[in-house]
Structure 1
Amino acid sequence: MAASMLHIVFNPSAAASLRDALQQAGRDERVISLFDCLSFGPINPPDPEVRWKWVEEELGYSGWEKVVGEATSFWHEALSISNRRIAWLSRRSAQEYAGFLEWLWRLGEEPIEVVDLTDVVVAGSRNGSTKPHLAISLGLLPPHEILENDLLDRIEILTSALHAQYRELWGRLRAEDAPLRILSEGELVSAPLSFFDPLLLSCATLEWQKAARVIGGALLESSTASLLQIGDLVLLTCP
């Protein structure tokens, strides 16, 4: 009996879009998502309990316990050998890239299949324009764009050279175990927790503003280079 197809994504929004696309295509295939964001916090190892404590102490956020249970379930299924596993990633998203690298690290030398959207250009409307644009992240694509651009058929086997390169990169990032991992010149690099402070200050004004407005401006500024660097949780709680 052939193994069932399991799509592995590293962004909850991506999971919702992909599930809808698969359903519309009449394909009975499962999708699982890592809710934890490994672009911040300890990753050597990325133990859910340790990360929970770090988020509470360093970011002052007390709602992380739900992620612990979800991460445990995700890793159990994502590493299962009973499924044919397809990993979706974009090296333009720090969250997706970091999650993918940890998954690859845990698999060891096993050959894997991926859909890499890093440099994929799709046709579809965005910001009122119908011009072709970079996919950037599966989480930014509505189901119809996934189908109309045949993204379900872009599965490829990761080359041994890239496999080794990715494992070397994540091994280095694990050893550094920095508070943040950000995208720089097309690669994931370590950064201090204060990295986004200048960005936040540039979005603030002398007049009183709601924190949400400053955070929103920072998120917009950080995504102008067709990159998804960070989420609002880290920006909201930056020291």
Structure 2
Amino acid sequence: MSTIHLTNGDVAAESLRSALALAGRDDRVQPLRDDLAVGPLRGVDDAPYVRADFWERVTADTQRDFVREFREQAAVLDGLSNDTANLVVWHAESASDQLMLRRVCYLVRNSPQRLNEVRLSIADLAGRADPQAWAHTRKDHATSVGMFARDVLQAHLPDAAPISVLRISRLALEWQEVKQANGETRRWRDNTFTNGSFAELDTLILERASDDWQPAARVAAYVMTAELWYLASDSIVLWRMRELVTQRRIHLRGDANEWRSLELRAASAPCSPQ
């Protein structure tokens, strides 16, 4: 029987493909492209518009057809649930990875014998010269599969193990509960999901804003490495910065699509011409 490996996002998928190639395996890798830790979830399994509308608002990218992208994602998920291949869900300790796991369990709950998992943790990064070394100091241990180098993933290929029927049922139920709760953000702490708000990100941005212009990327890095109990992406942080500009709480200057040129300042001082 064939095997399909599932990852949260393209970065993780590319690393896993390389790991499989090094191991001489040609298993299929299927990325699921949605950061489920942020934005509305109620109705997400019924229509693509729930998530498409949210990400269209976040990115402000008029060139992307988010409805089409999420329709394609829905077709992928339908295909996985109707397929007969074994599934291996790769997940680490981020809220988004854990939500992906629960969504997959919900979708294939009627054929639980197909489901397997590989668990990764912050301990798998320890002691390595890794570009994600900042993660080692996080008390929330938030890590995603995309952080791990291909040699680490290759070493974990033999760790794929079946998920028990009882656990699949529990994880599927948790997915339904999280969807119903429908928070703005979702934290993963002590094996439990709790809701948060985008105001928490806004507070962190405002903490770093001063009367002097500074690189917006520096502020974004502070927010993205904060112990939020989920991983905040650069696109989410930039969206919150734009929202704070709209609220006249900060100023931005430069190209909002180019972190190197973008600068940020508190709104406590008048904004000079852009």
Give 1:19 deviation, angstroms.
0.2
Give 1:38 deviation, angstroms.
1.4
1:25-54 deviation line (CA, Å, top 9, x unaligned): 110100000112111222122132222123
Given residue 102 of structure 2, which amino acid in structure 1 is its aligned partner? Answer: L
Q: Is the 8 A contact 2:4 2:86 kept in 1?
A: yes
Change (3 A) 1:196 1:183: farther
Give the whole-Å Cα distance in 2 for the aligned partners of 1:236 and 1:128: 21
1:57-105 deviation line (CA, Å, top 9, x unaligned): 4x36234626324413431333232311111112x21221122211211
1:126-175 deviation line (CA, Å, top 9, x unaligned): 2598xx9989332111112222xx20011111134432332232222111
Give the whole-Å Cα distance in 2 for the aligned partners of 1:126 and 1:17: 14
Q: Is the 8 A contact 1:35 1:70 kept in 2?
A: no
Give the whole-Å Cα distance in 2 for the aligned partners of 1:152 and 1:116: 10
2:234 aligned to 208, 216, 232, which one?
A: 232
Give the whole-Å Cα distance in 2 for the aligned partners of 1:135 and 1:209: 27
Q: How does 1:147-162 map to 2 (within 5 A)?
A: 147=154, 150-162=155-167
Change (3 A) 1:210 1:64: farther
Matched, 1:124 2:128: yes
Match of 1:11 in 2: 9
Change (3 A) 1:203 1:67: farther
Give the whole-Å Cα distance in 2 for the aligned partners of 1:101 and 1:24: 29
The aligned length equals 228
Q: Is the 8 A contact 1:124 1:145 kept in 2?
A: no
Match of 1:144 in 2: 151
Q: How does 1:55-70 map to 2 (within 5 A)?
A: 55-57=55-57, 59=58, 61-62=60-61, 63=64, 65=66, 67-70=69-72
Give the whole-Å Cα distance in 2 for the aligned partners of 1:85 and 1:228: 25
Give the whole-Å Cα distance in 2 for the aligned partners of 1:183 and 1:203: 25
Moved more, 64-73 or 194-203: 64-73
Identity over aligned pairs, percent: 21
Matched, 1:113 2:116: yes
Task: Please give the secondary structure, in 1, of the residue aligned with 2:24.
Answer: coil
Match of 1:32 in 2: 30
Give 1:186 deviation, angstroms.
4.2
Given residue 98 of structure 1, which amino acid in structure 2 is its aligned partner? Answer: L
Give the whole-Å Cα distance in 2 for the aligned partners of 1:19 and 1:202: 40
Task: Please give the secondary structure, in 2, of the residue aligned with 1:165.
Answer: helix
Structure number with the bigger relative contact order (C-alpha 8 A, sep ≥ 6) is 1
Q: Is the 8 A contact 1:38 1:99 kept in 2?
A: yes
Match of 2:214 in 1: 209
Change (3 A) 1:161 1:203: farther
Q: How does 1:191-206 map to 2 (within 5 A)?
A: 191-206=196-211
**Root-mean-square deviation (Å):** 2.8
Match of 2:174 in 1: 169
Q: Is the 8 A contact 1:113 1:158 kept in 2?
A: yes
Q: Which runs of 5+ in 2 are unaligned?
A: 244-274
Give 1:221 deviation, angstroms.
2.6
Higher Rg? 2
TM-score by length of 1: 0.82
1:185-237 deviation line (CA, Å, top 9, x unaligned): 443222223232222222323321233331122112348xxx65221222211
2:85 aligned to 74, 83, 86, which one?
A: 83
Q: Which runs of 5+ in 1 are unaligned?
A: none
